[in-house]
Amino acid sequence: MLGQFFSENEAKYNVIVLAGGLGTRMGSASDHIPKALTRIGSQRAIDLILSKFLLIGHRFIIGTAWHSDLLESYVRGRFGSQPIFFSQEIVSDLKSNAVSMMYALDMADSRVGTIVTFCDLLLLSNPAIGGSALYLATRETKGVVGTFRHSAKVDNGKAVGIIAHEGSQPISAIENGVVGFFVFENTVLLKEIVYSCARTGKLGDMTADIVSRYIAVESTKAVPVDALLEFGTETDLTQARKAWEKY
């Protein structure tokens, strides 16, 4: 059983799923559907992702662009009883994951914390959610790990900085690869950072431009991930499907 996330102190969160990318690295799997609708076993990726948050989701916000009508129709049909919101970008105007996050964040409730995840990532472990946290892959992480453009500096269990790498690096070449799964306990601060970066034209990458500024101000745990499936490329998707069959 995949299991669900649970939160410390029964807290609820905004859950932002960034699903607006074109999925060009996934080959034919996303030729006619958004990558969030890619099948993993008998289910769609978005099914597996959203199901993990049902116990702690205060509001679900899905960032869409490519074939947004298909994704929205599917999600409303499957999760119609949940408080679902969609932030839609124009495909020809897609800029970066940081900009996509800004549009989604407009719909987030500032009174509760915010979790952000990508639609081509599935954490197989079920860590307790509580406090701001940066999730990291290590050489001990099982599953399909993928590659990383950023890693984290860690000190006494806290994330204290972000390291940008030249190109995407395998986990064998770096330490503490930043996984596309973040908990921002302080949504007000998160919005301040994002909107400030937008005003100054510095919204190029979510990890480099937003997360790095957030952890510089807000104490943020560094949480190693036991197991995950990352399926952002055609090769990773094939491996993730095989791994899921065994799981």
User: Which burial class, exposed, middle or buried, applies to 95 when counting CB atoms under 10 A from its CB (0-12, 13-18, 19+)?
Assistant: exposed
The per-residue pLDDT for range 90-115, each reduced to its tens digit, is 767 667 899 999 999 999 999 999 99
What was the pLDDT predicted at 21?
A: 63
Domain CATH code at residue 16: 3.90.550.10
What was the pLDDT predicted at 157?
A: 97
CA distances from 32 to 22, 23, 37, 95, 231 (A): 10, 10, 10, 21, 17
Q: Is 107 inside a domain boundary?
A: yes
Count the domains in the chain. 1
Determine the number of helices (DSSP H) and then strands (DSSP E) in the chain.
6, 14
DSSP structural state of residue 1 = -
Residue 181 belongs to domain spanning: 8-246
User: What is the torsion angle, in degrees rounded to the nearest 10, for the CA atoms of residue 125, residue 68, residue 39 and residue 105?
Assistant: 0
For the chain, give the mean pLDDT.
Answer: 92
What was the pLDDT predicted at 28?
A: 53
Distance, in Å, from the CA atom of 24 to the CA atom of 10, rounded to the nearest integer, reads 39
Distance, in Å, from the CA atom of 123 to the CA atom of 63, rounded to the nearest integer, reads 19
Q: Is 3 inside a domain boundary?
A: no
**Is it the case that residue 30 has pLDDT exceeding 60?**
no
58-81: string of b/e by CB count within 10 Å (b at 16+)? Answer: bbbbbbbbbbbeebbebbeebbee
Neighbouring CB atoms inside 10 A of 34's CB total 26
Question: In this predicted model, which residue has the larger pLDDT, 187 or 31?
Answer: 187
Q: Is 227 inside a domain boundary?
A: yes
**Is it the case that residue 193 has pLDDT exceeding 80?**
yes
**Is it the case that residue 144 has pLDDT exceeding 90?**
yes
Q: Is 202 inside a domain boundary?
A: yes
Region 203-221: mean pLDDT is 96
Q: Is 2 inside a domain boundary?
A: no
> Phi first, then psi: what are they for 89, rounded to 5°?
-105, 155
Q: Is 167 inside a domain boundary?
A: yes
Instruction: Find out whether 13 and 112 touch, Cβ atoms under 8 Å.
Output: yes
Q: Is 178 inside a domain boundary?
A: yes
Distance, in Å, from the CA atom of 54 to the CA atom of 18, rounded to the nearest integer, reads 17
Question: In this predicted model, which residue has the larger pLDDT, 22 or 56?
Answer: 56
**Is it the case that residue 22 has pLDDT exceeding 70?**
no
Q: Is 1 inside a domain boundary?
A: no
Q: Return the sign of the alpha-carbon dihedral for residues 139, 142, 147, 151.
A: negative
Locate tokens 């995949």: which residue?
A: 2
Neighbouring CB atoms inside 10 A of 54's CB total 14
The per-residue pLDDT for range 133-142, each reduced to its tens digit, is 999 999 999 9
